[in-house]
Structure 1
Amino acid sequence: MKLDSSISAVITGGASGLGEATARALAAQGVKIAIFDLNEAKGEALAKELGGVFCKVNVTSEEDVDAGFAKARAAIGQERILVNCAGTGNAIKTASRDKATGEIKHFPLDSFNFIIQINLVGTFRCIAKSAAGMMSLDPLPCGDRGAIVNTASVAGEDGQIGQAAYSASKAGVIGMTLPIARDLSNDGIRVNTILPGIFNTPLLAAAPEAVKAALGAQVPHPKRLGNPDEYAHLALTMITNSYFNGEDVRLDGAIRMAPR
């Protein structure tokens, strides 16, 4: 797929972090951008800077997602690119004992479901609705009608203590990549997933520099946190290389996460 002003893209979680970097990289190629996010201030500012459109979208809401795609398509046309970066996490053990009181607690199921609904179901909701729109388009000369990039995590393969919900949600994204790519193959829509390692995103913004340095030192090479621009570079490769399909690719400096 050649990137230029004839192409439109939707980026969920596009107001910051990995999504923002990808929105900027696509816009630099002339692609028209729609940003789905809950942060209105950042989303509106970035959309204005890039000449795109902001849509306040909670990916767990069917109504929000439908309204977001309707607004985006009215402003920039039917998207050929979807990049799913919306997501969150928590750190709760499956069951644990309070060291002071001896009280035993288990992972609240509402908290588990919350993560699954955002990271897994929200991602699938956006994929399904975007793919249905892409199917209405004529194929490009390369044969593509569209390209979808999802964001999983290395935690989907080697989750740490307290990451049961997060790891399950990201493993689900990994697991559905190939069957969705197969579902959409006859219509020329490609689907790939990136598994980032430890990246310097807003989730780590409040961490002290010493903590960030310690995290970066765990990476075999290069010994640092990943940069959002590096995620964006891989996302654009997945989009532009028309033989890239049905793949789950780690982007992690060769790290394999320890139990904690």
Structure 2
Amino acid sequence: MHLQNTAAIVTGAASGLGAATAQALRERGATVYGFDLPSAVDEATPVDGVTLVPTDVTEPDQVQSAVATAAADERPLRTVVNCAGIGPSMRILGRKGPHDLAVYRKVVEVNLIGTFNVLTLAAEAVVATEPDHNGQRGVAVNTASIAAYDGQIGQAAYASSKGGVVGLTLPAARDLASVGIRVCTIAPGIVDTPMLATVSDEFRAGLAAGVPFPQRLADAGEYARLVTMIVEHDYLNGETIRMDGALRMAPR
């Protein structure tokens, strides 16, 4: 599928994976609508061709309104990329007692339900467009994590939510096949994003040393390039792709 002269939605677009993806889609000729929380939008650096829309992905009314903004573009809405997510750490039984259920619920709500919410409401808008010559209307790319497979100590909530995204991928692709929408998921390993900005160089070096090859952290641009490859590769569908340098996470 061609990105030139199309519209795209990217969640979590104010920073990290989302910002890099929004930029990559823009460079390939798409007009991008980036959804993120109002506080994140206020702090983001403006990028030409990327319209940031204050949106909480867990709120159906807000997502519906934001999707309508993207769908109103004169270019057809073709691409939806879900990057919004959170990753607090907490043991099921820790020194302070059992895992806070509210924290678990919030992680699942943002990472899994938020992904499903945007995917579903955006798909409704994509279906209203005319298909291309191959009968394709659009592509959705969701973001899981290698924690979906190798969840570490303290990642019960995060791994559950990302495992749900992996599990969503194939049935979503099958559900949307009849309307010409492909669905894939990327499961990144350790990516150098603002979430790691506060850790020491020594800690970062330790993380990099655990990656078989290349022995470094991934960068957000590599994630973004994989998104564009999935969009442009018409036979990729229903698959979760690990982007992790062959890393398999240890228990801690």
TM-score (norm 1): 0.93
Q: Deviations over 1:121-167 (max 9, x none)?
A: 00000000011111111111232100000000000001000000000
Q: Which amino acid aligns with 2:226?
A: L
Describe the shift of the 1:76–1:203 C-alpha distance in structure 2 as closer, same or farther (beyond 3 A). farther
| C-alpha displacement of 1:236 | 0.6
Confirm whether residue 4 of structure 1 aligns to residue 4 of structure 2: yes
Q: Which residue number in structure 2 is paired with residue 209 of structure 1? A: 201
What whole-Å deviation, never above 9, does each CA across 1:4-60 have from its counterpart, x for those lacking one? 12x1000000111111111111100111110101112244x33xx222321101111
User: Match for residue 33 of structure 2?
Assistant: 34
Which residue does the alignment assign to 2:22?
23
Q: Give 1:87 deviation, angstroms.
A: 0.2
Alpha-carbon offset, residue 68 of structure 1: 1.2
Gaps of 5+ in 2: none
Please name the residue that 2:89 is paired with.
91
Tell me, in whole angstroms, the C-alpha distance in 1 between the residues paired with 2:93 and 2:31: 47
Q: Do residues 138 (structure 1) and 138 (structure 2) align?
A: no
Distance 2:124 2:68 in 1: 13
What is the distance in 1 between the residues matched to 2:66 and 2:217? 32
1:106 equivalent in alignment to 2:93: no
- CA contact under 8 A between 1:16 and 1:42: conserved in structure 2? no
Q: Kindly state the Cα deviation for residue 76 of structure 1 after the two structures are TM-superposed.
A: 5.5
Say whether residues 1:197 and 2:189 are aligned partners: yes
Write the deviation string for residues 199-257 of structure 1: whole angstroms up to 9, x where unpaired.
Answer: 00111011111111110111000110001111011111110111000000100000000
**CA RMSD of the aligned region, Å?**
1.2
Looking at structure 1, the residues matched to 141 and 220 of structure 2 have their Cα atoms a distance apart, in angstroms, of 15
Q: Which residue of 2 aligns with 1:101?
A: none
Aligned: 1:226 with 2:218: yes
The aligned amino acid for 1:164 is A
CA contact (8 A) 2:35 2:66 kept: yes
Q: Retained in 1: the 8 A contact 2:7–2:73?
A: no
Aligned residues: 250
Q: Give the TM-score taking structure 2 as reference length.
A: 0.96
**What code does the residue aligned with 1:19 have?**
G
Which 10-residue stretch deviates more, 72-81 or 113-122? 72-81
Q: Counterpart in 2 of 1:71?
A: 69
Look up the match of 1:251.
Answer: 243
Which of 156, 160, 163 is matched with 1:164 structurally? 156
**What is the identity, as a one-letter code, of the residue corresponding to 1:192?**
C
- % identical aligned pairs: 44
3-state secondary structure, aligned to 1:50: coil
Measured after TM superposition, the shift of residue 69 of structure 1 is: 1.2
The aligned residue for residue 81 of structure 1 is 79
Report the Cα distance in structure 1 between the residues aligned to 2:30 and 2:236, rounded to whole angstroms. 20
SS of 1:80 mapped into structure 2:
strand
Within 2, Cα distance between the matches of 1:34 and 1:153?
24
CA-CA distance at 1:77 after TM superposition: 4.8
- Residues 1:177 and 2:175 aligned together: no
Q: Are 1:32 and 1:76, in contact at CA under 8 Å, matched by a contact in 2?
A: no
Worse-matched range after superposition: 220-229 or 33-42: 33-42
1:22 alignment partner AA: T
1: CA distance, partners of 2:75 / 2:97: 50
Worse-matched range after superposition: 70-79 or 148-157: 70-79
Distance in 2, matches of 1:144 and 1:256, equals 35
Equivalent residue for 2:232? 240
